[in-house]
Structure 1
């Protein structure tokens, strides 16, 4: 298990997609990722106060987020492989259509909950079905489709890392945009951001439906290969990514509660300040993936090592309850660290895969990310109810284990060169 892994035999030069002979549509795929995450992040500043306004307990909103994560786990490999067999356009059109409808209905349900028309178990079930099952299953298609496409049109290590960093960069920009949009709109009423989300998703639907090229049938892969999470080319990267996003999951959902309880704010102010806190995380992620990663020239192993250590410092600072300054600083450092580490995680294993495995590994990465949010949000909110510092301590411990793992495991010292295709 510790020996260097042989480089796969090169795929025939005739096998790569003809996209490489045309102008790749990477910016358009990144725009799709941006709009999906912008819609999702617009909800984050108001999800905690919204749950209290409609009468749901902390664990119920955690369970809703965990349900969405379960759907990501169950569907990411399917979508990733279908993006190679059906084509990117049909997959993204289906994804945006389902997501738009789900969030429009979710807004109506939230309004009914605040009005007292829906209460109790029925309200909770509708939250889970719409925000969890439908929205989670739909958006799980977008990132794997973009990752598989970038892997298909980039054929050396630096370009692959840069392309995967682009996905992370637009996610960071979406985090900033969502924090601004969600925070500012919440000042006009907590339901206002819920109106904006389906509008953003509808824009994405129109964009991919009208601008994205559909691949000719001969460019598709009829039977993309499934990639096992136990594949020795892949599993160390999955372990590192799982640990990073598990640590994040323990605190992401409770940030709104931390802001409200530490600073003593009402629901409207909580949405605004939580948006500002998430803005700090997004700034850190953008700085990492738009500036540090492309300019550093670091390869996947180095990115994982540096990023995990920076994130450890961020979690440690989050333990300090001393007003807004350490709170903002901690989230900034966590965003910076994860922004540096994530391209190493997403690009590393793809460099060892053949073209017909790229959809499978992209889906596997998406499923791993989703798996971290199956337990962590529910556990984080439950731990927060016991003691506000407990989820932060768990996140710190998990991130420290990731830092140790990527520093000592042989896989990150013996990464063979990418197969030339």
Structure 2
């Protein structure tokens, strides 16, 4: 083989690690903020429900844009979509950092501050992050064919999200000890680094590799709706606890704002470890079908919710979050890989967008509802999340679609 042919073969090799790196960096930016969201809100004078509405706004933006991004990644190419997404995310979070600083100094407050939180953290960053997972999932579906390889590829998306959760927990929690502004400064730097890497390292597709008119897929399609229902339930249950973790930590353990960020970071670190163990070790080595992954994962996550309901102290709280991360880490590749094996190549972008929209839809209602319920009674959002997860576990046990699926012809 000549040097030139070797170079051409290398250039044609799928850049899955680079695409997964994009997922990692955008989620690292998001997860770095998570440990400080609750104490930051209280520091600038926002109510818990306003945090919920901000996150729900980001989720609604994701729902409205995910399918567009998924199809656009097949028609325009992955590189233009990812470069655009990272540029939007970087600018939005730079401005969000300035707004948060002004809120902490008292220069901004009340309705104006809340509106800027909605626009920057909600709409701006929500639109950006909506582009990345669908693009990665559609790409992986495009370069894999059999069930085992597809499941491993989709597990890779979850694994880097788990690593981002760990990295974000470590970075956000550690920097919170220096003050709430420190993580806010780091996030746009991380996103800017991702923008540079994608712009200079990711190859654009050849024209013949693009799909000029990607197919649309209905969420009512009988091949996929059971998977979407299961995913909707799983991430709704997660949404009922994710936004209140910081409040649970602070109120159950009686911590100040800075220490709440540190301990919340530790809890999110546990969830990330669970995700990584599930998707980097258990899923690739198990050889389980998508249906089996959903059944096993939902039961493990349900156990985590059950442990989280009572106030048992710091260690059981972290253990519960670990179990939830482990369970959802096992189930998620089944949810994403299962329907992709049933659809054709030109449908994969639309499916990835539907998956992203389904995930986002769960966070439109759940965070706001959770913060309202938390104001009524602390354990209530956890109880609701546990009930939803129990329904998901029963659904994936009995529905026939979750038997072993066969790949659709390309």
**TM-score calculated relative to the size of structure 1:** 0.95
Shift of 1:230: 0.2
**Are 1:340 and 2:330 an aligned pair?**
yes
Distance 1:225 1:154 in 2: 19
- Of 333, 342, 346, the residue aligned with 1:352 is 342
1:296 and 1:306 mapped to 2: Cα distance? 11
Decide which of 66, 70, 92 is 2:60's aligned counterpart: 70
CA distance in structure 2 between the partners assigned to 1:420 and 1:55 by the alignment: 55
SS in 2 for 1:228: coil
Q: Which residues in structure 2 correspond to 1:104-115 (within 5 Å)?
A: 104-115=94-105
Q: Which runs of 5+ in 2 are unaligned?
A: 1-7
Q: Is the 8 A contact 1:30 1:166 kept in 2?
A: yes
1:322, distance to aligned residue in structure 2 (A): 1.7
Within the candidate set 288, 308, 329, 2:298 is matched to: 308
Residues 1:38 and 2:38 aligned together: no
**1:141 matches 2:131:** yes
Query: More helix by proportion, 1 or 2?
Result: 2
1:288 correspondence with 2:278: yes
C-alpha separation in 1, matches of 2:150 and 2:217: 19
User: Match of 2:255?
Assistant: 265
Q: How far apart, in 2, do the equivalents of 1:228 and 1:79 lie? A: 16
**Residue 22 (structure 1) shift:** 2.2
Whether the 8 Å contact between 1:281 and 1:333 is mirrored in structure 2 is yes
Asked whether the 8 Å contact 2:310–2:379 carries over to 1, the reply is no
Cα deviation, residue 419, structure 1: 2.3
* Cα shift at 1:208: 0.7
Offset at 1:20? Answer: 11
What per-residue deviation string (whole Å, max 9, x for no partner) do you get for residues 249-297 of structure 1?
Answer: 0000000000000000000000000000100000001000000000000
Q: Does 1:419 align with 2:408?
A: yes
Query: Counterpart of 2:5?
Result: none
CA shift, 1:19, in A, is 9.8
Tell me the residue number matched to 1:379: 369
Structure 1 distance, partners of 2:67, 2:86, is: 18
Cα drift, residue 21 of structure 1: 9.0
Render the CA deviation track for 1:152-196: whole Å, top value 9, x for unaligned.
000000000000000000000000000000000111110100001
Shift of 1:52: 0.2
Q: How far is 1:416 from its partner?
A: 3.8
2:193 matched to 1:203? yes
Aligned to 1:123: 113
For structure 1, the 5+ residue unaligned runs are 1-17
Equivalent residue for 1:55, pick from 1, 26, 45: 45
Contact 1:155 1:420 in 2 (8 A): no
Is 1:154 matched up with 2:152? no
Judge conservation of contact 1:156–1:420 (CA < 8 Å) in 2.
no
d(CA) in 1 for partners of 2:233, 2:200: 38
- Cα distance per residue 1:121-161 (max 9 Å; x no partner): 00000000000001001110000000000000000000000
What is the aligned length? 403
Aligned: 1:174 with 2:164? yes
CA distance in 1, matches of 2:259, 2:405: 51
Q: Is the 8 A contact 1:307 1:338 kept in 2?
A: yes
